[in-house]
Structures are given as structure tokens and as C-alpha cells.
Structure 1
């Protein structure tokens, strides 16, 4: 627990930026990728009640686990549903009975609990060279940075306004740049009448229990791919996001708690939730707060926002999804510019790992997909192979693997 000095030093100004960072990460998650959940539900032929239960279970689960992990660790542990897994389910649920899919969700979640308790995942994470980790993060986020400017050809007024406002705010009040562009963008959309919320009403979501069924087919065709996709596409880059920004919380409790949460929520529709990667970067970098010791508040804020969405089910998710796509991509890209720049600088800083880090960056940015496994895994694998070949071996395991270019994070109870 933090000391009284830490508690008394948290002022209103310290709360604004991490809270807004948490809100933006939630908006980007729902506005950017949650449509995959609705697509998968449609493919599975789920009723509106079962679909609302899926929204409830994944939102509440993500909110509670992220809030608890951030509170206990005093670090910004942002959790989210597995986006690549949701994309996989759009196909898989077309041929798998829903009750068997729920059973497969539970098997996959139980495997993550065992992985977290074993401690092996943390050992693997600590073997990854900081430069390669930074290159991986920069490669994953590159498309979001490009997307911030790519929207100019689709919605030039909105995107141009956001970019112009960001640059001006960075010049005159850099601390409020991300907060400012969120406010400016929302005001512009409201003035233009592009946010029609008149037909929406708050309705409480009701969880619906589905009796799980277990089959060999679902084990091999759903549970195993779900586990591998979530591990390589979410947990691995998510932990490296934390390490890149100087946070050293062990992966073991994160994997264990999110796996346990997924196990409990699976009968209500939740496919998997885990530590976030892209949206976590919005909350772990300088844009969330200049002082790393204050960024954990973003984790609490994101958790609260997720829980609110879960309570009101599909209604609030629909609000976030009502935002224009250009607004979501530009907001996310601009909020991540600092992280992308810092990651590239860190990746190129060490001459010993520069070539391998560059390979990791380019391979991850290419977003290679083979055997159903996404670009984060292949970028990391290529980078590690390149590092081992160029240097004769992988680095020895270190007790704390954090980015040397990142700011130091005070331990629990330390004065700020």
C-alpha cells in the first residue's frame, strides 16, 4: 500500500489526465474492435439476451480484474477482451454449438490459470531483450500512428481539426494535448449533429447462464486456438508494453487473475479477457501522467468505465460504437504518438540489439499471419532469432527486465 505521502500528493490535477487516458482506452476498445463480438454473436445465432449477456460478462470481467490488479500493484494494469480471439470466433462459432464453445472458453481459461501459477510465462518474458521488446511495441502500434493521419482522405475536416488541435496544444500546453483533442473532437461532432444519441435509453443488462458442454472437437478447434491466439496476440505484447514503460509487475498474478476471471465469466458468454496491449499503451506512457507513480489511476478509471458499460450492457457499447471510425482511429493514433516515438528511440538505442530490434519492428508492422497466429508473435520470433544469431545467444535472465530508457517507477510505499 502507498504511504501517506503518496496519498496526500494525489491532487485533482493528478487525477484528470490518467482518468481521461482510461476513458480514451475504453472508447478505443469499444469503438474500434467490439464490433467483432457482435459479428461472432450473429454468426452463432445468439439471441439478443445472450448477446447482451456476452457484453455484460466480458465488460464486468475486464473492469473488475483491471481495477483489482491496478489497485494492488499501483501500476496501470489495463485488461481487455481478446480481440484476435474475437476475430477467430467470427469463423469458429459458425460450426461449433454455442454450449460447446462455452466449454472450450472454460478449458482455455483454466489453462491460463495453470500457466500463471506455474510462473513459466514470467520467466520467458524476462528473457526478451529490451530493444527487441521496444521494437515489437513500435511495430504493433505503427498502424495506429499511420491511421491517425490516414483518415484525412475520408474525413478531412474532423481529422484535420484533431491533428491541428493536437499540435497547437502540444506547443502551448503539452500536458493537456490528449484531453484537449478529446474535448474538441466531441464538440465538433455534436455541433455537426453526427452523434445522434436520442434513440438510446439506459437498460440494465441481465446475465444469462449457459450450461457448458465439453467435446473433443471443441477442445481442438476452439479451446486450443483460443489459448494460443490470446497468449501470443495479447498476453505477450501486453506484458512488453508494461516493461517498455518501466513497470515491473510480475506476469504471474496478471495471467492467473485474468484466467480465473475468464473461467468464472465463461458460462455467461465471455470468450477471454487478458492484459491489454494497444489500449494499455495509452495509459502506461507520459500522456497519461508525467509521473509514472500516478499512472495506476488510469487503470482504476478504465476498470470503472468498463463496469459501467457492463451494467448497462449493449446500450453504452452502442454509444461508443456510434463514434465515426475516423474519430476513433485519429484519437487513438495521436494518443499513442509519444509511445511510438519512445519505443522507436529505445529500439535503436543499443547498438548490440539494433539490427534485431529493427527486424522485430518491421516484421511486427507487416502483421504477418500464419497458421492463424498474428503478427505480434511472428515479429517477436523473428527478432529473437535475429538477436540470437547476431549475438551468439539470447541475453541471460535478469531479475527485473525493464526498458533502460524508461522512467524509474517508485516501489510501493515510496514517496513521490
Structure 2
């Protein structure tokens, strides 16, 4: 549960903020409390938001992982083990954090990390890549246990963080528009259903209306595809890791930076925009543990999901902020199930029209984007130039040294603010870590 005091995030259940700062792992209401209140928060809105987030995470991103596996000439068993690691552990992360903190902190894996690995597997044997996955998890775990990541997030000005979020997520809004031209009838019907439902059908979440109408339109127009995943139901095949210095610098370090500087930073910013007080250290620690465990199973990292946290924490998951964690629990169940039955489910999920999935994800992000832009460019908060730099760098989707745009957006935005804006204001404490 997250309260709101004067428009600022507050800890759940009136927890002492100073105590939270001194602890490596931020305190929360506890899993027992989350389970006790879960039935009362499971409803059509939380369920539909969790479903949409799961469909988003189990469709296009799964194809990226499968493509990376193909690039590395992995066996079907190794590919299924990879999917089991990242989806099974991603779902487990959702259970643990959502129930313990009663916040929609949603687990998944690094999608840019999968793309990075696809290129690396042309150079490195998969056993060395697996060793690098484990080392990346150790790096992330170190950042969380030492509290370094929490200190960085407290130091960063929030307008710069919010601008990074707006730039990183704006592609989903743009994708909803471009999807109309790719599949006019299906996506058009879905978009119309979303806004009509928002205006006239208060009992049904607009995103659920959009999904149902879109699926009906796809069925009527014959827009469902045929799966090309090519994975049969086989047992997972584990790979013995090999640890090398080359793989450490080429895979482990960039992957760790992606997890912390892109995925976790996005999720933190989204939760702040929704007036939660995200447990930054705990999110980093569990992402490190998830990375290590996923590595031993043959997967590249299980961590906090940026876009899916945005969907589960938005008002599409219900008006009551304190109940939206139920959407993450629903998503976690579906994610874990997808990992366990990956060989059967992947071909079915990939039959859904990609433009429809993109459009629904974009529609679910509308209010998140509005709040991010408002928080980034509120004149009273300052940092306008730094926030603008963070926005355009994040929107550019550039990759430098194998590290994706969100990390550079935060870095360049902070540097520009220190150079041209009031130095006394830079470093004003953010509420990110309580």
C-alpha cells in the first residue's frame, strides 16, 4: 500500500522513513499482509492489467530471446531452459516484491540484454555467456547489498528521472499510432473501444475492452498469424558455465548496467510517478539474485521490468493505488506459467497480431506518460534543461559501449544540470529510496 502525503510518495503502513534509509533492504508490510489483502484487491481491473502486461512480456520479447538462441545455435532444450529461467524467476520476483511491499513492482528480464546477447553469441560459446550471466548477477547484487544504487537514486533530481521515463516509454505511445496503419481495422477498432469504454463503460477497464474488441476484430478479419517459433515441448537442458575475463567485460558488465541503469531505473521512475515509494535497494538485490539463479539455469537475467511495471501501476489497474499490486501478482502467475510451459505456449502467443499487442501496450501507458511529462517539466522544480537532455537522449534509443539509452539519459541529463543549472539544487534528495 502506498500513501500520498502532500503529493509525495510515502512508505506503506506509516513505516518510519529514517529507519528505512538505514537498512539495506527496505522494510515493507510483509508477504503475509499482502496475501491477506490480495483477495479484496483482485478484480476485473487488476486482472486485466496483469493480463495485458503478461501478453506484452510473453509475445515480442520472447521472440527476441528465441532469435538470440538461434544466433547461438542453441538446442531446443537450452532455449526452453533459457525461457524457463527468465519467465519463471521473473514471475517469482513479482510474487515476492508485490506481496511483501504491496506495490506493483513487476518482475521480468532485460529485453535489451537479450538483444545484446544475440550479437555476443556469434563470438562467445554459450557456456562462457552463461558464466557472464552469473557474473552480471553478482555485480547487480553487490550494488544492492552495499546500498550504492539507493544513494545514486536519492542523488538524482527527479525531473531528470521522470524525463528519462517519458523518453523511454514514449515509443509505446507512438507505437499505438503506427500500429493503426499496420493493421487499420483491428487496431482501429481496439483504439475506439478503449476511448468509448473510458467515457461510457466505467465498470470495465478500457484496456480490457480494447483487448477483447481487438481479438474479435482479428478473428473476423483473419489477422491471426502462424507461429514460427519452432520449439517443441522438451525438457530444459542445463549448460555448465565457464568464466572468462573476455566474457566478463563484453557481456557481464554491459548486462549489469542495462539491468540497473535501464530496467530498474525505469521501474523506479514509473513507481515514483504513480506516487509510490519504491524499495530501490530491495529491487536491486532481488535483480542480482535473479540474475545469478537465472544464469545457473541458462538464462541471461531475471530482474524488475520497466514497461510492465508501468502497465501494472497505472490507473488501468484500478483507482486504488494500494490495490494495484494484485495486477503484478496476476502477471507473475501468468509469467511463471509461461516459463514452465514455454515449449507449448510460445507458438500460441506468437500468433497474436503484433500491431494489436503494441497498440494495447501504448494505450495502457497514456496516464503514466502524462504524469512523467508533468513531473519532468514542472517549472517550479527546476532542472528543465537537464530534463530536456534526458528526454531526447532517452527517446533517441542510442547504444554506446553496448549500454542502452536510459542509462545515458540519466548520466547526460545530470551532467548538463550540474553545468548550466543551479549547483546548489543538484543532488537535492529524491524520495526514490524512501
Distance 1:8 1:314, change over 3 A: closer
Matched, 1:367 2:418: no
Deviations 1:251-275 (A, max 9, x none): 1122112211221221221101211
SS of alignment partner, residue 316 of structure 2: coil
Matched, 1:324 2:353: yes
Deviations 1:15-74 (A, max 9, x none): 221121111111112222221111111111111111111111111110111111111111
Which of 381, 384, 408 is 2:414 aligned to? 384
Q: CA deviation at 1:200?
A: 11
Deviations 1:207-239 (A, max 9, x none): 322111112222222222222232222222222
Deviations 1:169-215 (A, max 9, x none): 12113562111111111122223333368999997663322111112
Aligned-residue Cα RMSD (Å) equals 2.7
Out of 183-192 and 155-164, give the one that drifted further: 183-192
The equivalent of 2:332 in structure 1 is 303
Whether contact under 8 Å (1:282, 1:336) holds in the other structure is yes
The equivalent of 2:239 in structure 1 is 210
Whether contact under 8 Å (2:106, 2:304) holds in the other structure is yes
Q: CA deviation at 1:314?
A: 2.7
Whether contact under 8 Å (2:173, 2:363) holds in the other structure is yes
SS of alignment partner, residue 46 of structure 2: helix
The equivalent of 2:16 in structure 1 is none
Which of 306, 313, 318 is 1:277 aligned to? 306
TM-score with structure 1 setting the length: 0.89
CA distance in 2, matches of 1:165, 1:91: 40
Whether contact under 8 Å (1:178, 1:287) holds in the other structure is yes
Which of 102, 123, 129 is 1:74 aligned to? 102
CA distance in 2, matches of 1:95, 1:315: 30
Matched, 1:121 2:132: no
Whether contact under 8 Å (1:360, 1:379) holds in the other structure is yes
Matched, 1:140 2:158: no
Deviations 1:134-180 (A, max 9, x none): 21111111111011011222211112111211121121135621111
Whether contact under 8 Å (1:80, 1:275) holds in the other structure is yes
The equivalent of 2:22 in structure 1 is none
SS of alignment partner, residue 205 of structure 2: helix
CA distance in 2, matches of 1:241, 1:200: 32
Whether contact under 8 Å (1:202, 1:312) holds in the other structure is no
Out of 343-352 and 97-106, give the one that drifted further: 343-352
Whether contact under 8 Å (2:225, 2:352) holds in the other structure is no
Matched, 1:176 2:205: yes
Whether contact under 8 Å (2:186, 2:217) holds in the other structure is yes
Out of 187-196 and 242-251, give the one that drifted further: 187-196
CA distance in 2, matches of 1:43, 1:393: 50
CA distance in 1, matches of 2:34, 2:337: 31
Out of 191-200 and 327-336, give the one that drifted further: 191-200
Unpaired runs of at least 5, structure 1: 403-410, 412-416
Distance 1:163 1:392, change over 3 A: same
Which of 76, 88, 91 is 1:48 aligned to? 76
Distance 1:286 1:195, change over 3 A: same
Out of 125-134 and 92-101, give the one that drifted further: 125-134
Distance 1:119 1:8, change over 3 A: closer
Whether contact under 8 Å (2:104, 2:328) holds in the other structure is yes
Whether contact under 8 Å (1:205, 1:311) holds in the other structure is no
CA distance in 2, matches of 1:8, 1:300: 12
How many residue pairs match? The answer is 402
CA distance in 2, matches of 1:331, 1:21: 10
Q: CA deviation at 1:396?
A: 4.1
CA distance in 2, matches of 1:344, 1:309: 34
TM-score with structure 2 setting the length: 0.86
The equivalent of 2:362 in structure 1 is 333
CA distance in 2, matches of 1:254, 1:165: 36
The equivalent of 1:406 in structure 2 is none
